[in-house]
Amino acid sequence: MAKKCRRWGALLLVLAMLGGICACQSKPEAAEDVKATGSSEPAKSGGEDADKGEKIPLSVEFFVTEDNMLDIAQYIEEVLPEQYPDYEVKFEITQGDAQTVETKIRTALASGSNSVDVWWCHGGTWATPLINGNYVLKMNDYLEASGFYEDMVLQVASFVKEQENVYAIPFEPTSYWVNMYNKKAFEEAGIKEVPKTLDEFMTALEALKNAGYTPIVTGAKDQWMALDFMETLAYTVSPEDSFKAVNGELKFADSEAWRKAAEVTREMLDKGYFPENIGLMDRTEADALFATEKAAIISETSSTLTSVCQQFGENAGLMYYPMVNAADVADYGINISGGQKTNCGFMVNAATKNPDAAVDLAIGLSKLRNQYEYTVLGNVAVPFDAQKLGWELPEEPAPAIAQFAEDMKKFKYSKNFLQDIMPTSTGTTLSMEAASKFFTNPDYSVDEFLTDLDKAVAAE
């Protein structure tokens, strides 16, 4: 998905690691760093083959649709024999765009082949035909029996458990939508406290503008970012409305939360708090504007927090979205849009000959990826309880990262972004296009925007 575009901060990290990591042939030095931290290995499911002293054959398809995943894939491939000595794992890394890798797994499953036991699925509407075709193993009973949930972050475990059928082991770091800010810019603008209400936020943006800064920026040309910005504002009013609208229980046009979010965004656009060309500014350009300290606030995913802190150090600040309704200020920093995607992660072939072992391996693959994220890349937003598993950050966390790690424990309502829960891929596209149009066309009204979101839900 577009959401997985490269991050400017990740490039800085890659450059810093080039001396020790080879992305093509040699063993990543980072793999040694992960091993040194220690890990809690999942219990191995032996099965009859293991009892006979034979290794259980399993095949894994690991898709790499972006460059920064290649090091992780190669690390996992290297440590698998040591981590899972009872399994004979055929680990295949497929590089290419999303369409290439999706076609590959669909073709393999549709042919009736059980040659693929485990694969990584991006979730959303891509997973729907696989599930509807009964190609994916339901893992509810396997996960309960394995003690899987005991190693998860509480809110992620709750999210997975409440699904009627679990088809994927969470694999990606949890992605939340937050604001990061330049503390120096706030000081120069005379902003003494982080704004928590909408009135405080608007006052702060005006002060930043008067101080010569672009108050706030996001990559609105990347349509999903425009939609996520507005959805997070809606979350501060009523986080349930997105799901109610998609499930047919509410119209976006009747949602007070989404109407207020659109009205606030329009006000910010009209007052010049965004760059003049915000609708044409992609993620890379927005990141650059913040990195060069021309913009004071950037609205981004939590995945960029580590790289922002690497550049700004203690000057990097973390700020959640202001409460649109001042009376709700007690909920500041609690209702955060984002979280784990439904049916996103490692899936298991319903036709696998070794379901216990395949699920066990899927859990292990997820842990290995997230252990790498935490111990090498310094990403604290992983779905597993890092402290319980004995994982350690590569260095003392910056104040903003330490704050976020602590704050995640109190997030009350955190689930999929709107574009990830639309019933069809067409609906996903239409919803993002509507948000992009809102940032681009000043004549595109709030009513038109909300109506178009309802049309996106209804799209075939």
In 84-154, where do the E strands start and end? Answer: 87-95, 118-121
Residues 7/304, Cβ–Cβ less than 8 Å:
yes
Tell me the CA end-to-end span of the chain in Å, nearest whole number: 20
- pLDDT for 53 equals 66
What pLDDT score was predicted for residue 417? 85
**What does the DSSP assignment read for 237-285?**
T-TTHHHHHHTTSS-GGG-HHHHHHHHHHHHHHHTT-S-TTGGG--HHH
Short-list 254, 232, 237, CA closest to 245: 254
**According to the model, what pLDDT value does residue 342 have?**
80
CATH domain 175-338+409-458 topology: D-Maltodextrin-Binding Protein; domain 2 (3.40.190)
CATH topology of domain 2-173+340-390: D-Maltodextrin-Binding Protein; domain 2 (3.40.190)
- Cα distances (Å, whole numbers) of residue 177 to 11, 43, 321, 353: 20, 34, 9, 40
d(CA 98, CA 96): 7
H/E stretch holding 296: strand 295-301
Confidence (pLDDT) at 47:
42
pLDDT value at residue 97: 74
pLDDT at 244: 93
Written as one letter, the residue type at 182 is N
**pLDDT for res 52:** 55
Location of each CATH 3.40.190.10 domain in the chain: 2-173+340-390, 175-338+409-458
- Nearest by Cα to 358 from 168, 75, 102: 168
- The dihedral over CA atoms of 379, 30, 4, 195, expressed in degrees to the nearest 10, equals 20
Predicted confidence (pLDDT) per residue in 35-48, tens digit: 433 343 433 444 44
**Predicted pLDDT of residue 46:** 42
pTM above 0.85, yes or no: no
Please list the pLDDT of the chain residue by residue as tens digits (460 residues).
433 333 334 333 333 333 333 333 333 344 444 443 334 343 344 444 445 568 999 999 988 877 678 899 999 999 999 999 999 999 988 887 767 777 888 888 877 666 789 998 877 667 888 888 899 999 999 998 888 999 998 878 888 888 889 999 988 888 899 999 999 999 999 999 999 999 999 999 999 999 999 999 999 999 999 999 999 999 999 989 998 999 999 999 999 999 999 999 999 999 999 999 999 999 999 999 999 999 999 999 998 898 899 899 999 999 999 999 999 999 999 888 887 778 888 999 999 999 999 999 999 999 999 999 999 988 898 999 999 999 999 989 999 999 998 888 888 766 678 888 888 889 999 999 999 999 999 999 999 999 999 999 999 7
